[in-house]
Amino acid sequence: MDWFGRARISFTHAKSPVTLKKKDGTVTDLLEICKKATPPCQLNPLLFNGHLQTMYTAVKTEGPPIYYRRKIFDANHKTYHGTFAVDFAVDKHEDVDETLPPRTAYFSEEGFSKIASDDSRPMLIVLHGLSGGSYEEYLRHAIAPLVLGDGDWEVCVVNARGCANSEVTSGVLFNARATWDVRQIINWAKGTFPNRPLFALGFSLGANILTNYVGEEGANCPLKAAVSVGNPFDLEISNKALTRSMIGHHVYQRVMGTNMKKLIANHRDAVEKYTKLDYDQIQRITRLHEFDREVQTVTWGYPTETAYYRDASSCDALLAIKIPFLAIAAEDDPIAVHEAIPYQEFKLNPYTVLCTSSLGGHLSWFEIGGGRWHARPICNFLNSMVSEIDLDAIKPMVNGKEADVEMKTHFDPLRRKLLILSDSE
């Protein structure tokens, strides 16, 4: 039992984690970097289980004041067309746009045209959770130490289509393995900021998307490292865990389903214009798995929502990851349940380390005084990678040998993976 909010910390990893060369010429490994980055987890003792931690997120507090400028990107893929919004963390501004989340305003054309740079500051690309956006408090807590005060990071948040007051401009919506928008932004960032080391951070559904992306890219991944937080990993198991419990079925499933139903309602005109979805039927659903049945199966051609869950799950993608990858999870998470965590896969891939806390709930980890514990291991890990590790010395390994950086990875659709066609196919 965990007393007075003091959570137990555990690490799951390969027998021989990937070796990392330090800037001073010495060597360490990924596990040591992760352990060093992870402080003790002392949470609010009044929120003594995952349900209380998770439900406390409904208590609205101000959180760190992160200011953003938004840029709308046109998708550069002919199949996955449309637009999506990216919010860039910027210095404090007084611009107010009532159509956008708080502290967010659009870039001017002139302002965005000057964004390119050859500086070498590290850059973090962030993916939020289901139906959220750059405004989410758990996200702002995580990036605040990197962009406020002495932080020297550049940060942007890729908003899922239709989220965070962004428009829906095509029939291509987001799902749990919608990797095309984050892929475009990472490639854009690589070209726009050629000297910046790129990193990525994903929360919940965004963590699942990020894990799929890093696995799909394999040895070709442009990122130097990635962090996954509260990843559901195996969506079928997570769904079954939610539906079999009273609170999961009547609270969590209902809240998430209602949020997604509202998202569709906010974009009714676009949904009816660009898709074949049954809007009225969607508005009659009450739970998340019902939403997935009405939306994801129709949009993507899955026969059932469980087929969608199996295909979109990121647990298998772990085995293809070839960059340093830290996953953070709470064992009492009632949404991204511990049964869905692929412990064995973490033990097989030396590029991955799983850090679990016995307490914390779903994207919660509330400390006394309102802090969020997860922000500290995230920022410590990212800062350690930048300040201590020779990032250029990290070479992808395949079967114990250095990988061919030109190698192309491919998920066979017969393995229940949706085939993402290139523009030339």
Could you tell me the domains of the chain? Answer: 6-234+313-403 (3.40.50.1820)
What span, in angstroms and rounded, lies between the C-alpha atoms of 320 and 215?
A: 5
Q: What is the pLDDT of residue 414?
A: 38
Q: What is the pLDDT of residue 287?
A: 97
pLDDT of 239 > 50? The answer is yes
Q: Which of 131, 134, 166, 204 is catalytic?
A: 204
Q: What is the pLDDT of residue 79?
A: 83
Instruction: Please write down the long-range contacts of 165-168, taking CB distance under 8 Å and 24 or more positions apart.
Output: 165/99, 165/100, 165/101, 165/133, 166/72, 166/83, 166/84, 166/85, 166/133, 167/72, 167/83, 167/85, 167/267, 167/270, 168/82, 168/267, 168/270, 168/271, 168/274
- Residue 2: pLDDT band by 50, 70, 90 thresholds? confident
Residue 181 annotated as catalytic: no
Q: What is the pLDDT of residue 265?
A: 96
Q: Which of 29, 87, 292, 333 is catalytic?
A: 333
Mean pLDDT of the region 169-180: 92
Q: What is the pLDDT of residue 60?
A: 79
pLDDT of 405 > 90? The answer is no
pLDDT of 413 > 60? The answer is no
Q: What is the pLDDT of residue 181?
A: 97
Q: What is the pLDDT of residue 381?
A: 98
Q: Which residues contact 345 (CB under 8 A, 6 or more apart)?
A: 315, 316, 318, 319, 352
User: To the nearest whole percent, how much of the chain has pLDDT over 90?
Assistant: 87
Residue 204 annotated as catalytic: yes
150 contacts 180 by C-beta, under 8 angstroms: no
Mean residue pLDDT across the chain? 92
Q: Which of 128, 267, 289, 362 is catalytic?
A: 362
pLDDT of 55 > 70? The answer is yes
What values do phi and psi take at 90, rounded to 5?
-135, 175
Residue 77 annotated as catalytic: no
Q: What is the pLDDT of residue 423?
A: 52
Q: Among 293, 298, 323, which residue's Cα sits nearest to residue 224?
A: 323
What span, in angstroms and rounded, lies between the C-alpha atoms of 132 and 292?
A: 17
Residue 414: alpha-carbon gap to chain centroid: 26
- Residue 411: pLDDT band by 50, 70, 90 thresholds? very low
